[in-house]
Amino acid sequence: MKKRVGIEALAVAVPRRYVDIEDLARARGVDPAKFTAGLGAKEMAVNDPGEDSVSLAATAAARLIQQQGVDTSKLGMLVVGTETGVDHSKPIASHVHGLLKLPRGMRTFDSQHACYGGTAGLMAAVEWIASGAAAGRSALVVCTDIARYGLKTAGEPTQGGGAVALLVSETPDLLAVDVGLNGVSTADVYDFWRPVGRREALVDGHYSITCYLDAMAGAYRGWRERAMEQGLVRWDSKLPSEQLSRILYHVPFCKMARKAHAQVRLCDLEDSGSGPATPEARDEAAKSQASYDAQVAKSLGLNARVGNVYTASLYLALAGQLHAEGAALAGQRIGLLSYGSGSCAEFYSGVVGEKAAERMARADLDTVLAKRERVSIEEYERLMNLPYDAPEAIAPEPGTFRLAEIHEFRRKYAGA
């Protein structure tokens, strides 16, 4: 088995428009503090039908190849994690493969399990390389989604959209994954779902939060058991979770990362056999502001400005974390928690690479976000009401793709 495998580089694509979350709150007659302090949001990406899950995926992947000088002849696998599929049969991966003119000798497929599909794809790539079957080739894993609940729903302030492309290889400059330590937890639940043919997701919002926390507790405990066997963490004066330098979570809205972090700490506090004696004191210790500030807060800079990106949310948090602290974290172990409704959670860990800051500088994330245009709530509502199959005739920005038309159920793209 290969010793070092993981994420070599990443690139981010976001829709070109966004709304300010306080504008949305005011338009809905809600106290803005509910969306800012209560949910942790600042801005929310708004896509138009030309910016579909394929064009966002292809833009992120093209950007990754261009920014990092990827030799595409060395790619052997392309996986797209998404819950925003565009066809029951033809995968987004084949569109991306064609738009980027990638080599024929590649395995291509989509991976679907709500927000977990991206991590499932990443692990397929990591373990393919780690097994030796890749024979030196690399993989492209693209997480792409449009989070859409509909106007005036409880889920509305937790929408968003975008894509994160990951290059996975034996040169893990961003994150060397601890292969085989993953903890997973699956349950058959109806917390969030989108029946075939519907554009908007259905969600049992408060129940979905409970499902997330329940699944992640199982996943974290599974990881912790394996990490202890390997001597990576131990029962000590510091909790096992505190022995990870940072922990990144699936971020449907930023406040969820705070709840998730308290849950991880609660698992440790409950299982430690020492520490606070009463459930109330344990809850209090789990919610430690100092721990949240030190281990989580800095990962949320991009998520707060983009919103939920389903499969890509965890990887947007990774991008935000390494963008903020790539140099400082070099050589340090971090934890990552992926959750997909339905449900499946996976907790894994990895060591940040020495070249993380250099790789992230090439991703140029400040420019990617700065290029966006703030739109009014009227314009956002107009965009939301456009039919999915009639994209506006807008010329794609250089280096990006757009859906140009759908003719006889065939999608045509322009750009890059």
Q: Which residues bind ligand HMG (CB under 6 A)?
A: 31, 33-34, 37-39, 83, 114-115, 154-155, 158, 191-192, 203, 205-206, 208-209, 212, 250, 252-253, 255-256, 308, 310, 339-341
If the CB atoms of residues 44 and 414 are measured against ligand HMG, the closer one turns out to be 44
Q: Which amino acid is at 283?
A: D
Task: Clarify whether 408 is annotated catalytic.
Answer: no
Among residues 95, 97, 250, 261, the one annotated as catalytic is 250
Task: Clarify whether 261 is annotated catalytic.
Answer: no
Among residues 8, 95, 97, 115, the one annotated as catalytic is 115
Tell me the residue nearest to ligand HMG as measured from the CB. 38
| Spacing of C-alpha 167 from chain mean position | 14
Among residues 8, 51, 83, 325, the one annotated as catalytic is 83
91 close to 115: Cβ distance less than 8 angstroms: no
Task: Clarify whether 170 is annotated catalytic.
Answer: no
Q: How far is the CB of 30 from ligand HMG (least distance, A)?
A: 8
If the CB atoms of residues 38 and 276 are measured against ligand HMG, the closer one turns out to be 38
Residues in the chain: 416
If the CB atoms of residues 109 and 193 are measured against ligand HMG, the closer one turns out to be 193
Give the integer Cα–Cα distance in Å for 407 and 164: 28
365 close to 306: Cβ distance less than 8 angstroms: no
If the CB atoms of residues 46 and 176 are measured against ligand HMG, the closer one turns out to be 46
| Spacing of C-alpha 351 from chain mean position | 18
Q: How far is the CB of 287 from ligand HMG (least distance, A)?
A: 10
Residue 413 burial (CB count, 10 A)? 21
Q: Which amino acid is at 145?
A: D
If the CB atoms of residues 206 and 412 are measured against ligand HMG, the closer one turns out to be 206
Q: How far is the CB of 399 from ligand HMG (least distance, A)?
A: 28
- Its sign, for the CA torsion 151, 152, 153, 159, is positive
Q: How far is the CB of 304 from ligand HMG (least distance, A)?
A: 14
Q: How far is the CB of 314 from ligand HMG (least distance, A)?
A: 10
Q: How far is the CB of 408 from ligand HMG (least distance, A)?
A: 31
Give the integer Cα–Cα distance in Å for 326 and 313: 18
The 10 Å CB-count burial string (b at 16+, else e) for 288-316 is: beebbeebbbbbbbbbbbbbbbbbbbbbb
User: Which of 193, 256, 174 lies closest to 4 in space, CA to CA?
Assistant: 174
Residue 195 burial (CB count, 10 A)? 7
| Spacing of C-alpha 60 from chain mean position | 13
If the CB atoms of residues 77 and 217 are measured against ligand HMG, the closer one turns out to be 217
Q: Point out which residues pair with 135 in neighbouring strands.
A: none
93 close to 121: Cβ distance less than 8 angstroms: no
**Which residues are annotated as catalytic?**
83, 115, 250
